[in-house]
Chain A
Amino acid sequence: MGLQPYLLLSATVFSIGLFGVMTRRNTIGILLGIELMMNAVNINLVAFSRYTAALSGMIFTVFTICITVTEAALGLAIVILLFRVRHTVMADHLDLLKG
């Protein structure tokens, strides 16, 4: 089986994640969409790495996975702090910076 099906699968998952980021009102839901997109990117990296026999793609995947986990932990900490200060996690209620 060729590389193409893997790329198409990852593009599909990425688009679904993009849709989630754009439509979710809850900030935690937005973070879930971002996780889906990151996941699609990882599939792409591993697939390219395997089909070109270049190891750097897989090493990079280790790094992206770790960075995503850190980002999720920090993002959720910010969500919790936001909830404590503003008593809402809905993105369309957080319009303090709107002119």
Chain B
Amino acid sequence: MTEQITFAALAVILVGSALAVVLSKNLFHAVLWLALALTGTAGIFLLLDAEFLAAVQLLLYAGGIITIVVFAIVVTERLIGERLTQTNMRIGGAALVSAVFLAFIVVVVGRHALPVSRPEMPGDLTRLIGEAVLTRYVLPFELLAVLMLAGMLGAIYFARPED
């Protein structure tokens, strides 16, 4: 019972803040709403027993992405005043496409038999993830490190001061 209540509360927070992200007039407010949405997602991860992923979510997303987005907004600040419209002329069409997409997924999800109870995980999830990342998935893990290094170098190169 507590699980249902927690899920409902998190779902309301998540959907509400997601709507605020796409609808708010001020881009800076949108980023703050995104921070709430990402924190709500961390709550969902906790509800799914994935404590490690919740921590990664908070550190990388809610910590990292929000900070760099705020930096980007400050740098490009001149053009995001409230008087400029933040949305284009295609709101109706976009709402239609999103609604059709959502309806499609709801129909597909409704037509399939899905598991209704959780199987027992073979042990502590954080430990399992750590072991898997350093044994079976060690090559993708190392490639990920290289990718992130390349990404960071690229970002620094793009944003370097003009010479």
- Using a CB–CB cutoff of 8 Å, the interface residues on chain A facing chain B are 1-9, 11-20, 22-26, 28-29, 31-33, 35-36, 39, 42-43, 46-47, 49-53, 55-56, 58-59, 61-63, 65-74, 76-81, 83-84, 88-92
- Using a CB–CB cutoff of 8 Å, the interface residues on chain B facing chain A are 3-4, 7, 11, 14-15, 18-19, 21-22, 27, 30-31, 34, 37-38, 41, 44-45, 48-50, 52-53, 56-57, 60-61, 64-65, 68-69, 71-73, 75-76, 79-80, 84-88, 90-91, 93-95, 97-99, 101-102, 105-106, 109-110, 114-122, 125, 128-129, 132-133, 137, 140, 144, 147-148, 151-152, 154-156, 158-159, 162
Closest residue on chain A to residue B158 by CB atoms: A77
Q: Is the CB of B151 within 8 A of A70?
A: yes
Q: Is the CB of A20 within 8 A of B22?
A: yes
Q: Is the CB of B64 within 8 A of A33?
A: no
Q: Which residues of A contact B53 (CB under 8 A)?
A: 42, 46, 58, 61-62, 65
Q: Is the CB of A81 within 8 A of B158?
A: yes
Q: Is the CB of B76 within 8 A of A7?
A: no
Contact A28:B155 (CB < 8 A) given known A5-B7, A23-B90:
no
> Shortest CB–CB separation between residue B73 and chain A, in angstroms?
6
Q: Which residues of A contact B148 (CB under 8 A)?
A: 66, 69-70
Q: List 29 interface pairs A-B (beta carbons < 8 Å), by A numbering.
A: A5-B7, A11-B106, A13-B14, A15-B98, A15-B102, A16-B21, A18-B97, A22-B93, A22-B94, A22-B98, A25-B85, A32-B34, A32-B69, A39-B41, A43-B44, A50-B49, A51-B115, A53-B118, A58-B52, A58-B53, A61-B53, A65-B53, A68-B61, A70-B148, A73-B155, A76-B155, A79-B72, A80-B75, A90-B84
In Å, the complex CA distance between A16 and B24 comes to 13
Q: Which residues of A contact B30 (CB under 8 A)?
A: 29, 32
Q: Which of B60, B61, B90 contacts A22 (CB 8 A)?
A: B90
Q: Which residues of A contact B93 (CB under 8 A)?
A: 22
> Shortest CB–CB separation between residue A84 and chain B, in angstroms?
7
Q: Which residues of A contact B38 (CB under 8 A)?
A: 35, 39
Q: Which residues of A contact B147 (CB under 8 A)?
A: 66-67, 70
Closest residue on chain B to residue A51 by CB atoms: B115
Q: Which of A4, A61, A63 contacts B144 (CB 8 A)?
A: A63
Q: Is the CB of B48 within 8 A of A46?
A: yes
